Amino acid sequence: MWKLKRRDFLKGMGLTGTGVLLSGNVWALNRLEPIGDTLNDEYPYRGWEDLYRNEWAWDKIGHAAHCINCMGNCGWDVYVKDGIVIREEQIAKYPSVNDKVPDANPRGCQKGAIHSTAMYEADRIHYPLKRAGERGADKWQRISWDQATEEIADKIIDIFEKYGPGKLKTHQGSGNQSMMRQSAGNRFSSLVGGIQLDGFTVVGDLNTGAHLAYGNPLESFTSDAWFDADYILLGMINPNATRIPDAHYIWEAQHNGARIVSTAPDMNPSAIHADLWMPIKKGTDPYLAISMVNVIIEEKLYKPDFMKEQTDLPILVRTDNQKMLRESDVEEGGSEEVFYHWDLNTNKAVKVKGSMGSTDKTLRLDDVDPAIEGEFHFEGFTVAPVFEFVKKEAAKFPPEDTEAHTGLNADMVRREARRMAEARKAIVMLGYITSFYSNCLFTGWGYALALALTGHGGRTGGLDTSWVVWNHPRWNELANFGGKKLPRYEAGGIGEFKRGNMIVGARKHFDNAKLKEAVGFDLDDMEEMMQESIDKGWMPYYGEIKGMISVADNTFRRNKYLEEYRRQHLEQASELYVNINTRLDSTAQWADYVLPAASHYEAWDLRTQGFHRYCNVFTRPVPPIFESKPDWDIMVMLTKKIQERAIERGIGPIEDGDVTRDLHTIHDDFTMDGKLMTDYDVTKWMVENSPEYGDVTIEEAAEKGFIVLNEKAGTNQPLVKDEPYNPFTAQTDTKKPYDTLTGRITFYCDHPWFMKMGAAVPTGRGTAGPAASNYPLAFYSPHTRWGIHSNWRSNKFMLRLQRGEPNIYINPQLAKERGIKDGDTVRLFNANGDFFAQAKFYPSIPADTIMMEHGWEPHQYIHKKPMNNSMATFLQPLEMAGGWGHLGFKYAMWNANQLAHEGSYDIELAKPQDIIA
Ligand SMILES: Nc1nc2c(c(=O)[nH]1)N[C@H]1C(S)=C(S)[C@@H](COP(=O)(O)OP(=O)(O)OC[C@H]3O[C@@H](n4cnc5c(=O)[nH]c(N)nc54)[C@H](O)[C@@H]3O)O[C@H]1N2
Ligand SMILES: Nc1nc2c(c(=O)[nH]1)N[C@H]1C(S)=C(S)[C@@H](COP(=O)(O)OP(=O)(O)OC[C@H]3O[C@@H](n4cnc5c(=O)[nH]c(N)nc54)[C@H](O)[C@@H]3O)O[C@H]1N2
Ligand code: SF4
Ligand SMILES: [Mo]
């Protein structure tokens, strides 16, 4: 074979310098040497191959997940070279639960896969920053950690001195959904008694209907427990976009024979794969749920055994005042929380076991056969079971009548009700969008009723309320000293609404009379009930603030009536506003001090929230960039300064209700007397001291990248090793009472507000939308596939998968009427203002409705004017009810949601002069 070595080649040509090499015609193809054995032969310029090889070389592999609230929680191998993350790859080694269920591998989404690029983008914060101009002017001075923490510490002490505790809002948002990061902010709040709003209602994520029914809205399925369902209704959820790593179980269940039905106003990315798409009108879901109940009852498809044991449907109600018959009605000094069944075996009223007032904590009926129908007489009272009242209400909503609300064909609704009733295991999935509507209570409650009537609970299905919460006693110890020292936990919707002065926007936008017709109350009723709830101590609200420490919370992006909300907060937090963040987001932008936090791959951490049983371990694959620090370490430094300065300034312990806020020891308390000084210390402590992790060392956990939770992780019942987790099996299998007033799944609420508002039993109820305003287009803003809220929204890879700028989805028919073409810039406007976006044609959305994905940063909009500025909102007063069994403020369980989708808009083609700055 003819062959010339590189050296000989150059020599032969009499050429040496590169310049000459490139300029000559030596590159003529016919002069290139043929290469024989590419693996072994040496040939000219072989070095280029190393470029390619180096792309696949690394120094080490660490592990991490992403700690924002995507609900995914996926473990990744993180590849590091020269101290830089070069790429990530899914771990994909999660063991199968058993051999009947598909495994969880690989988990991940496209945002996770590009984080190694996003973490080095221009919006990362490198150093502690102090504002050098007005708030929001975007003029910054780089300062040292020492200066930053000292100045902040002094200002916090000033606020304590001047106003006492309770004037500091220390809310931590959705960017810190991992244990160590989350604990850092929470532990700090607990020590200073800061205001921390309910993490669910503050954004509108609490399924209040599920709480009312089951007494626990957080008890749900692991995603592998969807697989053996034979009927899944995607009620208000778009899992293919918002539960990307788990959605496969739905489609595997379909492959396994399940019927998948989706209800949504638009044919969303999940609906396109369903067996049936039910194009429901926006905001009308309670009418569908109650119509399914109507069919189930009318066609006698219900299952009495389940109803008798698991629900309050046989509990007796007085017909004179429609209140439940209580022991206190019958016996002198009797309990208000003990109720009665009518026993068909003995033909007598008997006390119900398992209620809040009962000492016998079981659902077991033993010899009692409670009546679910009929009317009875007892001790001078005429009584009837709850089911009679449910029947009467449901009879008002045959599918033929609710068609006017939902737009759904009545026969279709009848068929689906029958299918749910026939199913062995039926699941209704309600995503968090449910609670963005004022009728969430009725949607969750109505579906819970349809499911309970048809015997779906425990292993036979039930309501999926999105994500399972595991039991982590050590986490509570970290976050709030096991409940011994608490932050000022506040009702989320109320805190944001009142402090953000959102009533002003509501009054401008909604027509009070029309609102009352649409939702059953007006803004006056709402304000009055809110005040009553606060006055009676049902819901906590802590009033005006003086300072604000905002952690991992894009509050100046996510809130409604946003501009006024921000103005109010900046005005109130006049003394201090600190933002702790990885990015200079729309909220950090307005701070006095910005402290740079480590990103997902730069800190030790743990994460278990999601739909599975794996705790992912973050092993700090690379050190934090520049001077950024893990959230935990930032709080260690800040408390150190506060302690030092408090001692220097002679500030003693401060009495704060039942607890003492002692700034002299705040650092010692925060660090457990120096034991938990770093993100690593606290991660190790958690791993090695938590029963739900079993016997595992931090080294073993870090090597693998995840820990499989053991049976102790179950909150309601054990997390059995080789079984998917179904909610409420402790109730169905071992007859443990529900955490509700009656101890049963609840379908009767005789709270005075519920009675007054015609809501003692599940019923149909609408939302505000265009009907309650002068703007004709219904509007909703769901979550985007190409970001998690504002995270990764400006990443170049994500932007090129979509239009690359804020866009609204519009029906071509509406567009035609308004003279709008695909790609045009349009103006959306209502009583609270306007914003601009690119029109994107979307034929599956009704012509009277528009949709726009949320999460764009305000600065990505024309004139930096985001949609949330003009979005008016109000609260559902019933969600503020208290003093009734399981209704009363409970963190992540019961309080009022911020509502995102009650407003409406009109649309027009933007005029050139509108969009030129
Ligand atoms: N990719 C991605 N995933 C995410 C997030 C993200 O930002 N991006 N955010 C996470 C968080 S915090 C949350 S809260 C969840 C939210 O995720 P989801 O619970 O899925 O809620 P949305 O995306 O707001 O809305 C889901 C779908 O509901 C339908 N819908 C709208 N109005 C109605 C209605 O009135 N009735 C019915 N039946 N359907 C309706 C629409 O088709 C919409 O696409 O997603 C989580 N997952
Ligand atoms: N119109 C409309 N508004 C909505 C919604 C809607 O559907 N429509 N949805 C609502 C819902 S459900 C939600 S959950 C909210 C979410 O709304 P946002 O509060 O906007 O949520 P994120 O974008 O996740 O903001 C968290 C911030 O944490 C920061 N961060 C990330 N990692 C870390 C870290 O490790 N440490 C620190 N200190 N910071 C970090 C990020 O920079 C990010 O800006 O929006 C709500 N607002
Ligand atoms: S962003 Fe969330 S869903 Fe996506 S890969 Fe990361 S942890 Fe998983
Ligand atoms: Mo959310």
- Domain positions in the chain: 6-55, 201-311+393-472+715-766, 769-916
Cα 184 from Cα 172, distance rounded (Å): 10
* 173 CA → ligand 2 middle, Å: 7
| Beta strands 904-909 and 825-830, pairing class | antiparallel
* 791 CA → ligand 2 middle, Å: 7
Give the single-character DSSP code of 600: G
CA dist 573 → 169, 239, 502, 527, 869 (Å): 9, 38, 17, 24, 20
Ligand 2 atom at shortest distance from the alpha carbon of 791: 23
For the purposes of burial, counting CB atoms within 10 Å of the CB of 1, is it exposed (0-12), middle (13-18) or buried (19 or more)? exposed
In three-state form (DSSP H/G/I as H, E/B as E, the rest C), the secondary structure along 454-511 is CCCCHHHEEEECCCECCCCHHHHHHHHHHHCCCCEEECHHHHHHHHCCHHHHHHHHCC
109 within ligand 3 shell (Cβ under 6 A): yes
Ligand 3 atom at shortest distance from the alpha carbon of 791: 1
Q: Which amino acid is at 687?
A: V
* 788 CA → ligand 3 middle, Å: 9
Q: What is the mean pLDDT of each run of 10 residues along the chain (917 residues)?
A: 40 38 48 72 76 86 96 97 96 96 96 97 97 97 98 97 95 95 97 97 98 97 98 98 98 98 98 98 98 98 98 98 98 98 98 98 97 98 98 98 98 98 98 98 98 98 95 96 95 98 98 98 98 98 98 98 98 98 98 98 96 98 98 98 97 91 96 98 98 97 98 97 98 98 98 98 98 97 97 96 96 98 98 98 98 97 97 98 98 98 98 87
74 within ligand 3 shell (Cβ under 6 A): yes
633 within ligand 2 shell (Cβ under 6 A): no
206 within ligand 1 shell (Cβ under 6 A): no
* 512 CA → ligand 1 middle, Å: 28
Give the single-character DSSP code of 692: G
Q: Which pLDDT value is given to residue 32?
A: 64
Residue of 610, 579, 499 lying closest to 246 (CA atoms) = 610
283 within ligand 1 shell (Cβ under 6 A): yes
Pocket test for ligand 1, best of 433, 438, 443, 791 (most atoms within 8 A of CB): 433
- Class at the top of the CATH hierarchy for domain 201-311+393-472+715-766: alpha beta
Q: Which pLDDT value is given to residue 589?
A: 97
Cα 872 from Cα 881, distance rounded (Å): 23
The CATH number corresponding to 769-916 among 3.30.750.24, 3.40.30.10, 2.40.40.20, 3.40.47.10 equals 2.40.40.20
| DSSP helix/strand/coil, 228 | coil
* 198 CA → ligand 4 middle, Å: 12
From the CA of 783, the nearest ligand is 1
CB 828 within 8 A of CB 808: yes
* Sequence-separated contacts (24+) of 656-660 with Cβ below 8 Å: 656/164, 656/165, 656/166, 656/193, 659/193, 659/484, 659/485, 659/486
Residue of 147, 143, 150, 146 lying closest to 126 (CA atoms) = 143
Q: Which pLDDT value is given to residue 33?
A: 67
Cα 98 from Cα 722, distance rounded (Å): 5
CB 765 within 8 A of CB 439: yes
Beta bridge partners of 629: 597
* 456 CA → ligand 4 middle, Å: 27
End-to-end Cα, the chain, rounded Å: 70
What are the backbone dihedrals phi and psi of residue 124, each rounded to the nearest 5 degrees, phi first? -65, 145
Phi-psi region of 300 (alpha: psi -120 to 50; beta: other; left: phi over 0): left
Residue ID of nearest Cα to ligand 1 atom 8: 788
Q: Which helix (H) or strand (E) holds 686?
A: helix 679-689
* 429 CA → ligand 1 middle, Å: 12
In this structure, the dihedral spanned by the alpha carbons of residues 882, 887, 893 and 899, taken in order and rounded to 10 degrees, is -60
| DSSP helix/strand/coil, 535 | helix
784 within ligand 1 shell (Cβ under 6 A): yes
Helix axes 502-509, 492-499, angle to 10 degrees: 80
66 within ligand 2 shell (Cβ under 6 A): no
* 65 CA → ligand 3 middle, Å: 7
From the CA of 549, the nearest ligand is 2
From the CA of 431, the nearest ligand is 1
From the CA of 66, the nearest ligand is 3
Q: Which pLDDT value is given to residue 38?
A: 73
Pocket test for ligand 1, best of 203, 218, 268, 783 (most atoms within 8 A of CB): 783
Q: Which pLDDT value is given to residue 363?
A: 98
Pocket test for ligand 2, best of 558, 582, 594, 901 (most atoms within 8 A of CB): 558
205 within ligand 2 shell (Cβ under 6 A): yes
Beta bridge partners of 79: 61, 87
553 within ligand 2 shell (Cβ under 6 A): yes
Predicted TM-score of the model (pTM): 0.95
634 within ligand 2 shell (Cβ under 6 A): no
How many CA within 13 A on the CB side of residue 815? 20
From the CA of 110, the nearest ligand is 3
159 within ligand 1 shell (Cβ under 6 A): no
CB 498 within 8 A of CB 206: no
Q: Which pLDDT value is given to residue 11?
A: 42
What are the backbone dihedrals phi and psi of residue 906, each rounded to the nearest 5 degrees, phi first? -120, 165
* 67 CA → ligand 3 middle, Å: 8
Pocket test for ligand 2, best of 791, 830, 898 (most atoms within 8 A of CB): 791
245 within ligand 3 shell (Cβ under 6 A): yes
| Beta strands 276-278 and 614-619, pairing class | unpaired
Pocket test for ligand 2, best of 172, 174, 637 (most atoms within 8 A of CB): 174
Give the single-character DSSP code of 120: T
Q: How many CB atoms lie within 10 A of CB 84?
A: 14
236 within ligand 2 shell (Cβ under 6 A): no
900 within ligand 2 shell (Cβ under 6 A): yes
In this structure, the dihedral spanned by the alpha carbons of residues 320, 323, 324 and 325, taken in order and rounded to 10 degrees, is -50
